[in-house]
């Protein structure tokens, strides 16, 4: 099997999986219990929070655990909107955000919130002038992704932060950093924002853990109410095993960053070169993207035909993002880049992890050549 679908999800790091098992079967106390068993587990949970906050260069008290990035995103967008309704009713985002952001905003639009969708250029980079012109006194939030999940483009979020604060220093900035963490040198000292969302299963942590960063002093209401866990910002007993595994997985991902930047980028660029030779059009801007991602299409071949052909050979890639591919094979991102309906059905995404190697890339190219021959391409 060759697994090239790591932007959908990643295998859990083996050491992290061992730790998770330990906290599920041995150290299973509720961290909110007052007995010593609970206190021990609470200390370990807080140690994980501290480790994650150090990697992200923020305070432990600014980190909250949720069940996934979609929950972090919903909490931030809805919670900021409700807590700041006296300040305004306008939110700005881009046309290439993940459906977790887009569909949450569509829901808010039905409830009277004004949403502006900023355009992107052919490479998927946001139009900064359009963004600057859109920020007004009543703009409560700008929500942007750091790296795109389908084509990997890195957005100029540092410039965006400065621009927002210059135009209206009361406008909050949320970054969806799901596809950036573990793939580029990333911390919130460098990528400044007021809120951020992350997902453990994208960096070899388990499914079921999301991270939410909320800068000290910002105003946001919780989405899930109940007990006082996570300082009342996210009620419900924490997924302790998952969170402790996430902390270890993140540490391992950071240790592999050098490999990501060198070997994995070289493998990605090798694939891009060969695919181009075979007639593919490359969508990913190779010099401004996360190093593991390659979006491409063959004109007049549907992406699902290639994905299914490769799947029969035990090679796993994807069409659009996993969350959208069951509903439509058309890439909303490609449409935003200016491609027509036919080409937008052609997207194929390869996404590598630190577990992949060049030999797998060579096998991939050979298999794809066979498929194209079969299709008389
Ligand atoms: N944001 C981006 C950019 C993503 O790629 C994803 C998942 O693919 C999400 C948000 C949602 O993450 P989760 O699966 O943790 O809800």
Query: Is residue 157 helix, strand or coil?
Result: helix
Integer Rg of the chain from CA: 21
Ligand 1 neighbourhood includes 20 CB (under 6 angstroms): no
Q: Hey, which CATH number is domain 2-9+257-374, 1.20.120.50, 3.90.1150.10, 3.40.1280.10, 3.40.1210.10?
A: 3.90.1150.10
Q: Hey, which CATH number is domain 14-254, 1.25.40.10, 1.10.286.10, 3.40.640.10, 3.50.50.60?
A: 3.40.640.10
Helix axes 14-25, 240-255, angle to 10 degrees: 160
The pLDDT confidence band at residue 322, using thresholds 50, 70 and 90, is: low
Element (H, E) at 361: helix 358-374
Q: Does the structure show a pLDDT above 90 at 182? A: yes
Per-residue CA distances from 99 to 88, 254, 301 (Å): 24, 27, 25
Q: How far is CA 283 from the centre of its chain?
A: 18
What is the token pair recorded at 252?
């391992």
User: Which of 243, 279, 253 has its CA nearest to residue 24?
Assistant: 243
**pLDDT, tens digit, for every residue of 190-205?**
999 999 999 999 999 9
Query: What is the C-alpha to C-alpha distance for residues 273 and 282, in angstroms, rounded to an integer?
Result: 9
How close is the Cα of 228 to the center of ligand 1, in Å?
26
What is the token pair recorded at 330?
């058309």
Ligand 1 neighbourhood includes 72 CB (under 6 angstroms): no
Query: What is the C-alpha to C-alpha distance for residues 192 and 113, in angstroms, rounded to an integer?
Result: 25
- Catalytic-residue membership of 323: yes
Q: Does the structure show a pLDDT above 80 at 328? A: no
How close is the Cα of 321 to the center of ligand 1, in Å?
9
Ligand 1 neighbourhood includes 69 CB (under 6 angstroms): yes
Q: Does the structure show a pLDDT above 70 at 327? A: no
Query: What is the C-alpha to C-alpha distance for residues 172 and 331, in angstroms, rounded to an integer?
Result: 29
Query: What is the C-alpha to C-alpha distance for residues 307 and 316, in angstroms, rounded to an integer?
Result: 7
Residue 279 confidence (pLDDT): 97
Where does CATH 3.40.640.10 sit in the chain?
14-254
Query: What is the C-alpha to C-alpha distance for residues 130 and 128, in angstroms, rounded to an integer?
Result: 5
Looking at the CA of residue 199, tell me the nearest atom of ligand 1: 15
The pLDDT confidence band at residue 48, using thresholds 50, 70 and 90, is: very high
Q: What angle do CA 176, 352, 70 make, to 5 degrees?
A: 25
Q: Evaluate whether 332 touches 148 at the Cβ level (below 8 Å).
A: no
Beta strand residue intervals within 265-329, DSSP E: 281-282, 293-297, 315-316
Residue 4 confidence (pLDDT): 98
Query: What is the C-alpha to C-alpha distance for residues 156 and 127, in angstroms, rounded to an integer?
Result: 10
Ligand 1 neighbourhood includes 66 CB (under 6 angstroms): no
- In this structure, the number of other CB atoms found within 10 A of the CB of residue 59 comes to 14
If you average pLDDT over every residue of the chain, what do you get?
A: 97
What is the token pair recorded at 113?
């919130």
Residue 127 confidence (pLDDT): 97
Query: Which whole number is the average pLDDT over 122-136?
Result: 98
Query: Which whole number is the average pLDDT over 27-32?
Result: 98
Residue 321 confidence (pLDDT): 62
Beta pairing class for 348-351 and 210-214: unpaired
Per-residue CA distances from 312 to 50, 315, 323 (Å): 44, 7, 22
How close is the Cα of 367 to the center of ligand 1, in Å?
29
How close is the Cα of 56 to the center of ligand 1, in Å?
18
Q: Evaluate whether 161 touches 173 at the Cβ level (below 8 Å).
A: yes
Q: Evaluate whether 80 touches 88 at the Cβ level (below 8 Å).
A: no
Q: Which is catalytic among the residues 128, 323, 355, 365?
A: 323
The pLDDT confidence band at residue 106, using thresholds 50, 70 and 90, is: very high
Where does CATH 3.90.1150.10 sit in the chain?
2-9+257-374
Choose which residue among 70, 292, 293 to substitute to test ligand 1 binding: the one with the highest number of ligand atoms within 8 A of its C-beta: 70
Share of the chain above pLDDT 90, in %: 97
Query: Is residue 40 helix, strand or coil?
Result: helix
**pLDDT, tens digit, for every residue of 257-295?**
999 999 999 999 999 999 999 999 999 999 999 999 999
Residues in the chain: 377
Choose which residue among 77, 97, 98 to substitute to test ligand 1 binding: the one with the highest number of ligand atoms within 8 A of its C-beta: 98
Residue 329 confidence (pLDDT): 72
**pLDDT, tens digit, for every residue of 62-101?**
999 999 999 999 999 999 999 999 999 999 999 999 999 9
Query: Which whole number is the average pLDDT over 299-311?
Result: 96
């Amino acid at each position: 099997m060759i697994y090239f679908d790591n932007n959908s999800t990643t295998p859990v790091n083996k050491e992290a999986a061992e730790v998770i098992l330990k906290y599920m079967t041995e150290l299973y106390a509720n961290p909110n219990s007052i007995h010593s068993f609970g206190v021990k587990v609470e200390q370990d949970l807080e140690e994980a929070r501290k480790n994650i906050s150090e990697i992200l260069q923020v305070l432990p008290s600014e980190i909250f655990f949720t069940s996934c990035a979609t929950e972090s995103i919903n909490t931030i967008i809805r919670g900021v909107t409700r807590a700041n309704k006296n300040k305004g009713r306008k939110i700005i985002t881009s046309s290439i955000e993940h459906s977790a952001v887009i569909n949450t905003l569509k829901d808010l639009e039905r409830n009277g919130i004004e949403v502006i969708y900023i355009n992107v250029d052919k490479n998927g980079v946001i139009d900064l002038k359009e963004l600057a012109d859109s920020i007004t006194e009543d703009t409560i939030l700008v929500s942007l992704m750091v790296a795109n999940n389908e084509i990997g483009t890195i957005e100029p979020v540092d410039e965006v932060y400065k621009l927002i604060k210059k135009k209206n220093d009361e406008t909050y900035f949320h970054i969806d950093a799901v596809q950036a963490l573990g793939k580029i040198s990333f911390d919130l000292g460098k990528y400044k924002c007021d809120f951020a969302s992350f997902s453990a299963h994208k960096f070899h942590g388990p499914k079921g853990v999301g991270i939410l960063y909320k800068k000290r002093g910002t105003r946001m209401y919780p989405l899930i109410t109940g007990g006082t866990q996570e300082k009342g910002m996210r009620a419900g007993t924490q997924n302790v095993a998952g969170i402790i595994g996430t902390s270890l997985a993140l540490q391992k991902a950071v240790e592999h960053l050098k490999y990501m930047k060198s070997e994995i980028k070289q493998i990605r660029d090798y694939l891009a070169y060969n695919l181009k030779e075979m007639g593919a059009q490359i969508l990913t801007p190779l010099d401004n993207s996360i190093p593991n991602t390659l979006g491409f299409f063959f004109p007049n071949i549907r992406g699902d035909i290639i994905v299914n052909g490769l799947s029969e050979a035990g090679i796993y890639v994807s069409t659009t993002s996993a969350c959208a591919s069951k509903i439509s094979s058309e890439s909303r991102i490609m449409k935003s880049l200016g491609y027509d309906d036919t080409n937008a059905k052609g997207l194929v995404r390869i996404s590598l992890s630190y577990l992949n190697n060049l030999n797998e890339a060579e096998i991939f190219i050979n298999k794809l050549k066979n498929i194209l021959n079969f299709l008389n391409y």
